Chains A and B, each alone.
Chain A
Amino acid sequence: MNKFLTMIIVAAFVAVAASAQTPAWNDIKGEQLIALQTKGDPARGQAAFEPCEGCHRKDASGRTSGAYPRLSGQHGTVLIKQIADIRAGRRINPKMEPYIDDHALTPYEIADIAAYLQGLPISAENGKGPGAGVAAGKQIYDKDCATCHGPGGEGSAAQFYPMVAAQHYRYLLREMEFIRDGDRKNSNPEMVKVIKPYTNSELETVADYLAQLAPPKK
């Protein structure tokens, strides 16, 4: 049922987005709009995902080292936005870029891949942090992050907020630092404001906390 619900939410959102203004960090147009409006086909998505498996693994669980993020179970809307942002250079990812540029993927294949990935099970064997920061990290997270990313780190498909629970520790930490330091240009400015004051060691505790959360139920 969840997938159906997501589809309705996305359809509603896209309708709004197409008529009204969308925020600068998520200006839905061009191929992102096309991909969001396309009903992705998971079977075709599985085939289109093959060139990605060399880095993100066959089950899309990524690498426990955090070099490559887990993609399985992530919201389709988030995946589409991130891929569109990376292709447009709004988010810099030189390792991946040649494998997903417009020689390699059409907007329709992006929709297929997103439909495939969002339905995959989430592994709990992700890269964990040291564990000592979990309590401190939870405090920060509940205070400043849960409003958007959800009490259990589940994120929001309709709002394009990524699921952050059970992601690899090193990846989470790296992205938080990128977003805080302005190195991820597609970030939500509200989040940038909220995360600005935190030191590296504080962010380590947040990543520690998020990495050990149970995979959200879907």
Chain B
Amino acid sequence: MKTVDRNLVRQATPGRGVLAAAAMLAALAAGPAAAEDAKTIAGTVCVACHGDNGNSVIPMFPKIAGLSEQYIVKQLRDFMSGRRKSDVMGPIVSQLKPEDVAPLAAYYSSQKPTAGEADDKKAVSLGKLIFFDGNEDTGVPACVGCHQPQGAGHSVYPRIGGQHVPYVMQQLKNFATGDRANDPSRYMRVTAKRMSEEEIQSVAEYLVGLGAK
């Protein structure tokens, strides 16, 4: 089995990374045995951006370790169908076989997520307020209601605790503008639209420090 030079892909621009990853998947497309395949795909393709065991070290690439199976399956299918748009993930999932989805989800959901650290410590206290109370004046609901204590998530509500700051901020902005519109019942589009720039940044700084228990 061929392996990818991780450092090379990490240093590459996203565009070249995508090409390399997509080419890698095309090469793998012949192999059988789902669970083993999933591990191979994870260790050769996904690792380039999502890191070892799904704990990405590049802030624009999400950590996918410990996300629920249900959520990962949904996201991969949404990327495939175009319901969730991404220039980066789009070409990658186009090379995945439908039967790779479930084992990849099972693999990443069983990996242990790591916590990070806030860069802007001052923002954390407002972020904590948003997480536990929301904003009564503007009708932002508390994140803890759906995403659970520690932001650990469950069922359709993804883990957001420990996630990278720039990724969280970008997703919230995408929900607010409707660029990301795959959330069930429009929960996140409505929620993010009500948030100020400062609230978005603060809550992201709070979330990154929430640990794997």
Tell whether, in the assembled complex, residue A99 and residue B187 are in contact, meaning their CB atoms are under 8 Å apart: yes
Q: Is A143 an interface residue (CB 8 A)?
A: no
Tell whether, in the assembled complex, residue B157 and residue A54 are in contact, meaning their CB atoms are under 8 Å apart: no
Tell whether, in the assembled complex, residue A103 and residue B136 are in contact, meaning their CB atoms are under 8 Å apart: no
Tell whether, in the assembled complex, residue B145 and residue A99 are in contact, meaning their CB atoms are under 8 Å apart: no
Q: Flag A139-182 by CB within 8 Å of B: 1 or 0 each.
A: 00000000000000000000000000000000000000000000
Tell whether, in the assembled complex, residue B157 and residue A99 are in contact, meaning their CB atoms are under 8 Å apart: no
The interface on chain B, measured as residues whose beta carbon lies within 8 A of the other chain's beta carbons, has a size of: 15
Q: Is B66 an interface residue (CB 8 A)?
A: no
Tell whether, in the assembled complex, residue A53 and residue B190 are in contact, meaning their CB atoms are under 8 Å apart: no
A/B pair count, beta carbons within 8 Å = 46
Tell whether, in the assembled complex, residue A99 and residue B141 are in contact, meaning their CB atoms are under 8 Å apart: yes
Q: Flag B129-153 by CB within 8 Å of A: 1 or 0 each.
A: 0000010100101111110000000
Tell whether, in the assembled complex, residue A52 and residue B190 are in contact, meaning their CB atoms are under 8 Å apart: no
Instruction: Enumerate chain B residues within 8 angstroms of A63, measured Cβ to Cβ.
Output: 136
**Looking across the interface, which residue of chain B has its beta carbon closest to that of A94?**
B139
Instruction: Enumerate chain B residues within 8 angstroms of A98, measured Cβ to Cβ.
Output: 186, 190
Given contacts A98-B186, A103-B185, contact A50 B146 (CB under 8 A): yes
Given contacts A95-B139, A99-B141, contact A54 B134 (CB under 8 A): yes
Within A33-68, which residues are at the interface with B (CB < 8 Å)?
47, 50-55, 57-58, 63, 65, 67-68
Q: Is A8 an interface residue (CB 8 A)?
A: no
Q: Is A104 an interface residue (CB 8 A)?
A: yes
Within A58-106, which residues are at the interface with B (CB < 8 Å)?
58, 63, 65, 67-68, 94-96, 98-99, 103-104
CA–CA, A209 to B54, complex, Å?
Answer: 56
Instruction: Enumerate chain B residues within 8 angstroms of A57, measured Cβ to Cβ.
Output: 145
Instruction: Enumerate chain B residues within 8 angstroms of A104, measured Cβ to Cβ.
Output: 185-187
**Shortest distance in angstroms between A155's beta carbon and chain B's nearest beta carbon?**
25
Tell whether, in the assembled complex, residue A55 and residue B186 are in contact, meaning their CB atoms are under 8 Å apart: no
Q: Which of A47, A51, A53 contacts B185 (CB 8 A)?
A: A51
**Looking across the interface, which residue of chain B has its beta carbon closest to that of A58?**
B145
Tell whether, in the assembled complex, residue B145 and residue A54 are in contact, meaning their CB atoms are under 8 Å apart: yes
**Shortest distance in angstroms between A145's beta carbon and chain B's nearest beta carbon?**
28
Q: Which of A47, A54, A58, A94 contacts B141 (CB 8 A)?
A: A54
Given contacts A68-B136, A95-B139, A99-B141, contact A51 B146 (CB under 8 A): yes
**Shortest distance in angstroms between A95's beta carbon and chain B's nearest beta carbon?**
3
CA–CA, A98 to B142, complex, Å?
Answer: 15
**Shortest distance in angstroms between B68's beta carbon and chain A's nearest beta carbon?**
14
Measuring CB to CB, which residues of chain B are less than 8 angstroms from any residue of chain A?
134, 136, 139, 141-146, 155, 157, 185-187, 190
Cross-chain pairs A/B with CB under 8 angstroms, 17 sampled: A50-B157, A51-B146, A52-B145, A53-B141, A53-B142, A53-B145, A54-B143, A54-B145, A54-B146, A55-B141, A55-B145, A57-B145, A58-B145, A94-B139, A95-B139, A98-B186, A98-B190
Q: Which 6 A-B pairs have the closest CB atoms?
A: A54-B141, A54-B145, A95-B139, A53-B145, A67-B136, A104-B185
